[in-house]
Amino acid sequence: MDPLLEVSGLTKRFGGVTAVDDVSFQVGKGEIVAVIGPNGAGKTTLFNMISCFIPPTSGHVNYKGERLTGKKIYEMAHLGISRTFQNLQIFKNMTVLENAMMGAHIKLKTNVLAAGFRFPVVKRDEEEAYRHAVAALESVGLKHLMDEKAGRLSYGLQKQLEFARAIIYDPEFVLLDEPMAGLNDAETRKMSECIVNYKEKGGSFLFVEHKVATVMEIADRIVVIDFGHKIAEGKPQDIQRDERVIKAYLGEEAI
């Protein structure tokens, strides 16, 4: 089976500094793949190249066999790819429902002219966005809070809201930037549950995360980055026994 996502020789240099050096790996359909590594290992730079936020110095990324590198960020949604951010992108003065509906724009057919004149298609689009938003909120356990102002939610619930918005248009592939960051143990378990549940519905994931214990529980495969190099890749049980990984994480509690 062909890979869903194929990362080939990604390299990024900033002046004389090589942040990521010739990293390659694949994500298969229905897989959860995590990227881990010590602080400053190059994970964020790698993630930003994969998600088209910054261009690589060399190498490329293919999605379903087609070149993803060089695409505009907004084009990724049309390809069935969604992304969340480490820093919350929540509109705190809007309701939970309104926040979720913001993620439905990719499914809508309305253009500025139609919206301005309130053509019938606008009403149909709004109804469709509402249905998708409610379904997404229900899937993460937030439907009962959909009329609350998003700013009143706890940080953990805001993270769940951001996840709901990311999956509202049923993307096939989801990129998560530290989805567990800042969450307590209970919130981390809930976020893990959201990810696994969406995988069971056919979703695939690539995510960067510092909470290695959680990664070991939910990831199918793990890619380990250190000083910009891929030093290991494999199933969680193999990564836990890898001497290079143990050395890279020496002094960190999770390994």
CATH code, 35 = 3.40.50.300
Confidence of residue 74 (pLDDT cuts 50, 70, 90): confident
Q: Is residue 85 part of a domain?
A: no
Q: Which of 123, 155, 170 is the last residue of a domain?
A: 170
Do 124 and 247 lie in one domain? The reply is: no
Q: Which of 105, 136, 170 is the last residue of a domain?
A: 170
CA–CA separation, 164 and 78 (whole Å): 18
77 vs 60, more confident: 60
Do 236 and 122 lie in one domain? The reply is: no
Do 218 and 152 lie in one domain? The reply is: no
CA–CA separation, 152 and 149 (whole Å): 6
Q: Which of 113, 145, 170 is the last residue of a domain?
A: 170
Q: Is residue 152 part of a domain?
A: yes
Quote the number of domains for the chain.
2
pTM across the whole model: 0.88
pLDDT digit string, tens, across residues 189-228: 999 999 999 999 999 999 999 899 999 999 999 999 999 9
CA-based end-to-end distance of the chain = 32
Please, are residues 217 and 28 in contact by the beta-carbon 8 Å criterion? no
Do 158 and 201 lie in one domain? The reply is: no
Do 117 and 224 lie in one domain? The reply is: no
Residue 163 is encoded by which pair of tokens? 């996840």
Do 72 and 180 lie in one domain? The reply is: yes
Domain that holds residue 250: 1-80+171-255
Please report how the helices 155-166 and 120-139 are oriented relative to each other, as an axis angle in degrees rounded to 10. Answer: 130
